[in-house]
Amino acid sequence: MIELITNQPIIAALVALGLLALFFGALLGFASVQFKVEGDPIVEQLDSLLPQTQCGQCGYPGCRPYAEQIAQGDEINKCPPGGQTTVEAIAELMGVEAPQLDSGGAESADIKRVAVIREDECIGCTKCIQACPMDAILGAAKQMHTVISDECTGCDLCVEPCPVDCIDMLPIPVTLQNWAWQKPNPNIIATDNPQHQAA
């Protein structure tokens, strides 16, 4: 075997490369097991509950940093794109009572909204495209832009950068695809009504 390797330099090079690959592969495998960094499982679960819009309305640069802050004790109601359902899911995971959604100044956070560009006023500056974390705005420089309504999360980040103020946030119209039953009034039964119990 040694004589074959010494007489054949190409085989010797291949054997040497194979041995080096085996050595460094074993070294990397050992290092990955020995120096493995454990993640916080609660952060992973919180991050999976957030809508992943990376819009920054919560005050953090994305959903994962907000999940990390929630795990450290921050408020759980700072995600307008997720809505009240996300707040309730996080509260259930954390074992706390669900507070009301902090809409952050939005007039009605429970109403799902979508951005609509008034296309005849659009100058094609692309500032809204750069601001959109979901890539829901389609267009090019000096060309008309439009919003892909199925991709828009209503995060409102495209409105402020627009220099001609041609973006409106409109409520999503009710259609057969998004219609849902209204939740019943919790005081529908007379004996459950606090006024009836006081009497």
Within-domain flag for 78:
yes
Q: Are residues 115 and 170 in the same domain?
A: yes
Reply yes or no on whether the pLDDT at 155 is more than 60.
yes
Structure-token pair, residue 128? 């809204």
Whether 89 and 115 map to the same domain: the answer is no
pLDDT at 195: 61
**Within a domain: residue 133?**
yes
Neighbours of 165 (CB within 10 A): 10
- Asked if 116 and 88 sit in the same domain, the reply is no
- Residue 75 falls inside a structural domain: yes
Same domain? For 76 and 45 the reply is yes
Domain region containing 162: 111-174
CATH of residue 55's domain is 1.10.15.40
Residue 180 lies in a domain: no
Cβ contact 121:172 at 8 Å: no
125 has binding-site annotation: yes
Residue 129 lies in a domain: yes
Pairing of strands 137-138, 113-117: unpaired
Same-domain pairing of 82 and 127: no
In a domain, 135, yes or no: yes
Give whole-number Cα distances, 59 to 54, 79, 136, 179, in Å: 11, 9, 21, 31
pLDDT of residue 198: 55
Q: Considering the chain, what percentage of its residues have pLDDT values greater than 90?
A: 44
pLDDT by residue (tens digit) across 48-87? 999 888 887 888 888 999 999 999 999 999 988 888 889 9
The answer to whether residues 123 and 164 touch, using CB atoms and an 8 Å cutoff, is yes
166 is in an annotated binding site: no
Bridge-based pairing of strands 137-138 and 146-147 is: antiparallel
pLDDT reported for residue 105:
45
The count of structural domains within the chain is: 2
Q: Is the same domain home to 84 and 120?
A: no
Q: DSSP 3-state helix, strand, coil percentages of the chain (rounded to 5)?
A: 40, 5, 55
